[in-house]
Amino acid sequence: MAPIIQTENISHVYSAGTPFELAAIRNVRFQVEQGEFLGLMGHTGSGKSTLIQHLNGLLKPTAGRVLFQGEDIWSSPKKTRAVRFQVGLVFQYPEYQLFEETVYKDIAFGPKNMGLSDGEIDERVRWAAGIVGLEGSQLERSPFELSGGQKRRAAIAGVIAMRPEVLILDEPTAGLDPRGRQDIIGQIREYHRERGAAVVLVSHSMEEIARTADRIVVMSGGTVAMDGTPREIFRRAEELHGMGLAVPEVTAVMLRLHSLGLDVDPAAYTMEEARASILSLKGGCARA
Ligand SMILES: Nc1ncnc2c1ncn2[C@@H]1O[C@H](COP(=O)(O)OP(=O)(O)OP(=O)(O)O)[C@@H](O)[C@H]1O
């Protein structure tokens, strides 16, 4: 199947021609497959936010092309506008962008811009609120009366109410407690499952990525440094370390056991895999 989004050697230079000129991404070839859950990682300043803003036409590449369903997203204003609805982007700390009087109106903002009927808008607002776990009574409140985690969820609902075919989230769990993080990841997974939509999750947490992603892209210095399945990526622990990234805790333990001479799988990254690998050791035994 052809990728839903593809970048052809894109580069982006900020403040070109000024003393502040900075090449944030260089010759990036990147694709998002139909319906996949992709984890995007990289140290601070590696170019993740710059890259994802190209995927829905918020930034225009200074070189190269971005294709959505095989067509250049900048081929016409109509195409660029359509892509902004088909590729939903949730920024870092999206709650700072809530501005309407009620949560309902905030979630309805995107569907309204799409020109949908009032009935369709209402159905989508209630559906999206349900996915992120907001109750009906909260829809009529001011967004400013919600807790931090609820505001974050309202902001995510505003993007998923547009039912994008690709949902991109820039560190959606930053600053939340473990329970809040787990809730949001669960809700994103539900959207992914229910709509069959592709998800691009930018995260600094290897644990989060290991639990969710089908594929991982690692950025470093404005280019794609690695692209593979979680297993392929976590096998390259030393290189990750060199880029300031860690492997998931489970993998770290398995690597340590492996270095001590135990014949375990050093790239195991889920508890199930680790358990199976340890139990397969000669003489291994399980507690009941
Ligand atoms: N609007 C801008 N103007 C000028 N430089 C920018 C702008 N946005 C980002 N940069 C620079 O581009 C580089 C890449 O930044 P970017 O935000 O894409 O990285 P990132 O991987 O998303 O980082 P983080 O994990 O901290 O969000 C950095 O050096 C950053 O300072």
**What are the pocket residues of ligand 1 if the criterion is a CB atom closer than 6 Å to any ligand atom?**
14-15, 22, 24, 42, 44-50
pLDDT of residue 184 exceeding 90: yes
Q: What is the pLDDT of residue 283?
A: 64
Residue with tokens 């270095």: 259
pLDDT at residue 71 greater than cutoff 60? yes
Q: Which ranges in the chain belong to alpha helices (H)?
A: 48-55, 77-86, 103-113, 118-131, 136-139, 148-160, 178-195, 206-212, 230-234, 237-242, 249-259, 271-279
pTM of the full structure: 0.93
Banded model confidence at residue 288, pLDDT cuts 50, 70, 90:
very low
pLDDT band of residue 136 (cuts 50, 70, 90) is confident
- Whether the CB-CB separation of 140 and 108 falls below 8 Å is answered with no
Taking the centre of ligand 1 as the mean of its atom positions, its distance from the CA of residue 9, in whole angstroms, is 18
Tell me which H or E stretch contains 227: strand 223-228
Q: Where are the domains of the chain?
A: 248-288
Q: What is the pLDDT of residue 284?
A: 56
Task: Give pLDDT tens digits for 106-124.
Answer: 999 999 999 999 999 999 9
Distance, CA 19 to ligand 1 centroid (Å)?
17
Closest residue by CA, ligand 1 atom 18: 47
Select from 43, 50, 93, 169 the residue to mutate for testing ligand 1; criterion: most ligand atoms less than 8 Å from CB: 50
Q: What spacing in Å lies between the alpha carbon of 40 and ligand 1's midpoint?
A: 15
Rounded mean pLDDT of 259-278?
Answer: 91
Q: At residue 94, what are phi and psi to the nearest 5 degrees?
A: -65, -20
Cα of 87 vs centre of ligand 1, distance in Å, is 21
Which DSSP state fits 198?
E
Rounded distance from Cα 286 to ligand 1 centre (Å): 48
Beta pairing, strands 166-170 & 87-90: parallel
**C-alpha 70 to ligand 1 mean position (Å):** 27
What pLDDT does 147 receive? 87
Lowest model confidence (mean pLDDT) among 63-67, 94-98, 157-161, 206-210: 94-98
Distance CA 97, CA 144 (A): 11
Task: For residue range 236-252, list pLDDT tens digits in order.
Answer: 999 999 999 989 999 99
More confident residue, 204 or 164: 164
Of the candidates 34, 35, 39, which has an alpha carbon nearest to the alpha carbon of residue 69? 34
- At 207-263, the pLDDT tens digits run 899 989 999 999 999 999 999 999 999 999 999 999 999 899 999 999 999 999 999
What would the mean pLDDT of 262-269 be, rounded to a whole number?
91
CA of 51, closest atom in ligand 1 = 18
Alpha-carbon torsion (94, 97, 102, 108), positive or negative: negative
248 close to 234: Cβ distance less than 8 angstroms:
yes
Per-residue DSSP letter, 2:
-
Classify residue 271 as exposed, middle or buried by CB count within 10 Å of its CB (0-12, 13-18, 19+). exposed
| pLDDT at residue number 94 | 84
Residue whose token pair is 């260089």: 26
Protein residue with its CA nearest to atom 26 in ligand 1: 44
Kindly give the number of the ligand 1 atom that is closest to the alpha carbon of 204: 25
Average pLDDT score over the chain? 93
Mutate to test the pocket of ligand 1, among 28, 41, 46, 173 (most ligand atoms within 8 A of CB): 46
- The DSSP secondary structure of 43-110, one letter per residue, reads -TTSSHHHHHHHHTTSS--SEEEEEETTEETTS-HHHHHHHHHHEEEE-SSGGGG--SSSHHHHHHHH
Query: What spacing in Å lies between the alpha carbon of 61 and ligand 1's midpoint?
Result: 14
The answer on pLDDT for 26 being more than 70 is yes
Q: What is the mean pLDDT of residues 169-189?
A: 93
